[in-house]
Structure formats: C-alpha cells, structure tokens
Amino acid sequence: MEIGKRIKKLRIENKLSQKELAAKLYVTDKAISSWEQDRTEPDIAMIIKLCEIFQCNTSYLINGETLRNDIETEIKIALTEKEFRNLAILLKDKAQYQGEMLQSDTYFATRENKQEYLRIGRRGNKNILTYKAKREKNCEELEVELDDGETLGKIFTALNFHQIGVVEKVRQTYLYLNKYEIVLDQVKNVGYFIEIEIKKYDMDQNNEYLKLLQVAKDLGLNINNMATKHYLDYVLERQS
C-alpha cells in the first residue's frame, strides 16, 4: 500500500471528507486528492501534521510499519548509479569513512517453510550464521559467529535445507554526525541502495524517525524511493 492509499484509509476511518481534511491542513481538497491518488506526496512537515490528525505513527504513514523499541530504526532507499556515485563522493567529505567490504550471504530454507530461513554470511575472514523469521511487520533475527561456514552449508543440505539464493554486495560504511551509520550497497544483479540507521538515541523513537527522514532529505535523497524489501526478495524475484 502506497502512502496515498494510507492517507485515504486513515481519512475514511476518521470520518473526514477530503474537503474537511484539507481545511485542517490549510491546503486545497485537490492537494488531498493528488496525495490519495499517489500523483504527489506530502512533505515532511505535512506528514507530521497528518500524523497528529490521524493519531498514527510516522513510520506507518510513510511505509506501513509501526515503530517498535526492540527493532532497529533505519531506512533503505533505492538509488540510481549516478546518485550512488555522487553520494560516495559527498559522504567521504562530510562523514567518517569506515571502510569497504565484499559481503556474500547464502540463504537456506526448508521446502515447507519459506517464512523462516538460515543465512551464512561472509564478512571478510568471518562467517556469521543468522536465523531470520519473517513476521507481518518486521523480521526476527538471531546471529552467531562461526569458524567454518562451508562445512555448515553441507550440514544444512544433509538436514533437508536447500539453498534458495545468494546475495552478493560491496558495502561502504560511514559514520555521519556521530549518530547515524550510513551504508552504500552495490548489490550484484539488483542495484544500488543506501541504508541509514540510528546508532545513538537522543529522543523518543518517533521523533528520531522524523529526524532520520530529515537527514535523508538533507543528503538529497528521495524518500519516495524507500525500499521495503530485503535484498533476498529482489534476488528471488529475478530468479523467478
């Protein structure tokens, strides 16, 4: 569901006409109609006002998710190659460069359950085993470091787990404003992405999320291109 459909859904749930909502926001009803049809989108200031009227979470209005205290707060945005290259130059000037790493993630699952899977991730000389379980609004995740990822992959096969996909990416990592971890990902056969994650909280989570969006806009990012899928989902779509 796009942001316009969520605005319409919340407007109807609050028993407001487009004209009544427009009056509360000091805009025209044509602006509301344009949002609801996803022709245009409200800016951050208007999103805040909409959330106040609808008494909803900003993350729900923007991407359909409700913020929780037990999951990380981040956004991921799809980029063009030109945007990716320009951001790399910008961040090397404005942020602390943490390095670049080739990462390879091999995913395994049983044929019966596609909502839970295991991942062997290679991070330089390290092997990381991750258990992931897709939930309605988020993804549960558990991790442990391994000595031998190759042997573990053979064990998975023996236990009737089969390999469902491989995600390979080159990741550049930056620390921005001593508060945000920013990564630029070039994902093989998928495309270019930026992820911004809050590493230091100075206020409540909802306000931190709003500030995170403003940081994205200050970097020249288009939040309309926010990506809600995991890289594995993009890989599986290409395979099918």
* Segments making up each domain of the chain, as ranges: 3-56, 74-239
Mean pLDDT by groups of 10 residues along the chain of 240 residues? 83 92 92 91 82 78 60 82 96 94 89 76 85 65 80 82 91 95 97 93 79 90 82 88
Query: What is d(CA 88, CA 174) in angstroms, rounded to the nearest whole number?
Result: 10
User: What's the confidence (pLDDT) of residue 86?
Assistant: 96
Give the single-character DSSP code of 4: H
Q: What is the DSSP string of the chain?
A: --HHHHHHHHHHHTT--HHHHHHHHTS-HHHHHHHHTTSS---HHHHHHHHHHHT--HHHHHHS----TTS--EEEEEE-HHHHHHHHHHHHHHSEEEEEEEEEEEEEE-SS-SSEEEEEEEETTEEEEEEEEE-SSSEEEEEEEES-HHHHHHHHHHTT-EEEEEEEEEEEEEEETTTEEEEEEEETTTEEEEEEEE-S-SS-HHHHHHHHHHHHHHTT--GGGB--S-HHHHHHHHH-
User: What's the confidence (pLDDT) of residue 143?
Assistant: 86
User: What's the confidence (pLDDT) of residue 158?
Assistant: 83
Q: Out of 1.20.1250.20, 2.40.320.10, 2.40.110.10, 3.40.50.10320, which CATH number does the structure's domain 74-239 have?
A: 2.40.320.10
User: What's the confidence (pLDDT) of residue 137?
Assistant: 46
User: How long is the chain?
Assistant: 240
Sign of CA dihedral 150, 155, 157, 161: negative
Reported pTM: 0.70
- The three-class DSSP label of residue 13 is helix
Taking CA atoms, 151 is separated from 36, 56, 172, in Å, by 52, 48, 29
User: What's the confidence (pLDDT) of residue 102?
Assistant: 93
User: What's the confidence (pLDDT) of residue 138?
Assistant: 53
**CATH architecture label of 3-56:** Orthogonal Bundle (1.10)
User: What's the confidence (pLDDT) of residue 192?
Assistant: 97
